[in-house]
Amino acid sequence: MGKLAFVFSGQGDQYPGMGKDLYEKYPAAQRIFELCDKIRPGTSSQCFNGTEDALKETKNTQPCLFAMELAAANVLMDKGVVPDAVAGFSLGEVAAATVSGAFDNETGFRLVCKRGELMQREAEKFDTSMAAVVKLTSEQVQEVCDKYSDIYPVNFNCPGQITVSGLSSQMADFFADVKTAGGRAIPLKVKGAFHSPFMNDAAKAFAEELAGVEVKERSITLYSNMTAEPYGDDVVSLLSSQICSPVQWEKIVRNMIADGADTFIEIGPGKTLTNMIKKISADVRAVNVIEYLAEVETC
């Protein structure tokens, strides 16, 4: 019998109404949303009724996605579905760390609220953006990025898909060079050059924030965005430094598979990670949490 992994999605999958069905149907989800509302009033309303533009703001996106993801994970665990390992993409790593036991729910939510504020602050200093590049290898993407002073490959998602961050003023020419190289660049629904040097100050400030909280012993294996390996005792350094460092998602998934994971449940509102995992390996199962919940309830 293989191992079960929860993987928590990052910014870009958010949409108005996310989490509402969970809240209306499951007491475990209601408890999480109510906790988040006590700490950050209006979080559940923003998830359920907020506009797309409001949810694109990083200071809103991160706490709202975290709330939805933590609610969904708690619904599953309340039903006895407990993961052997967890990982999260970018902000999803804070949710994964919380579910692993590194933080209690309140601390995890407070941290992600601060993270969103810090990253928004840095994003507002520069006109920056992100894009997914498809149909090129990581080496080819690096070659194109090397032509530009302020565009960086930042998320190594799956074969043939790399995300870049950089100055918006350089993106049009970058897109043209990607096309010339045989690829395609797709703008992402985020405001900021995340996981790049543009986020250095946010990473430093978040490290200070993390240094002031209690990091507990984890009961579930947690994988790092930076190293693609399970965390040791370096939670503060790894969780803060990932803000300005590339996400090694393909390596994370491959390492989780090598360590025995054969079923991945994407904890989030969409199927971005599910689709990535399917491209990484055809030998494992990847499914979104809502679909998995439907299966559990019909058994």
From residue 199, alpha-carbon distances to 3, 24, 30, 242, 244 in Å are 35, 37, 34, 10, 5
Q: Tell me: the pLDDT tens digits for 40-60?
A: 999 999 999 999 999 989 999
> Is the backbone of residue 190 left (phi > 0), alpha (psi -120 to 50) or beta?
beta
Closest C-alpha to 131, from 122, 123, 118, 141: 141
Residues of the chain with CATH 3.40.366.10: 3-123+196-298
Q: Tell me: the pLDDT tens digits for 130-156?
A: 999 999 999 999 999 999 999 999 999
When pLDDT is cut at 50, 70 and 90, the band that residue 66 belongs to is very high
Residues of the chain with CATH 3.30.70.250: 128-187
When pLDDT is cut at 50, 70 and 90, the band that residue 188 belongs to is confident
pLDDT at 181 (0 to 100): 97
User: How crowded is the C-beta side of 143, counted as CA atoms within 13 Å?
Assistant: 11
The mean per-residue pLDDT over the stretch 215-238 comes to 95
Q: At what angle do helices 249-258 and 272-280 cross, to 10 degrees?
A: 60
Q: How far apart are CA 233 and CA 34, in angstroms?
A: 31
Lowest mean pLDDT among 32-36, 55-59, 60-64, 241-245: 55-59
DSSP secondary structure letters along 85-117:
EEEESTTHHHHHHHHHTSS-HHHHHHHHHHHHH
Task: Give the DSSP letter of residue 139.
Answer: H
Q: Which residues, in sequence order, are bridge partners of residue 162?
A: 133, 156
Domain 3-123+196-298 fold: Malonyl-Coenzyme A Acyl Carrier Protein; domain 2 (3.40.366)
Q: Give CATH for domain 128-187.
A: 3.30.70.250
Q: Which residues have a catalytic role annotated?
A: 90, 195
Enumerate the H helices of 82-218 as residue ranges: 92-100, 105-123, 138-145, 168-180, 200-211
pLDDT higher than threshold 90 for residue 16: yes
Closest C-alpha to 77, from 10, 42, 26, 143: 26
Q: What percent of the chain has pLDDT over 90?
A: 94
pLDDT at 297 (0 to 100): 76
Q: What percent of the chain has pLDDT over 70?
A: 99
Q: How far apart are CA 197 and CA 148, in angstroms?
A: 14
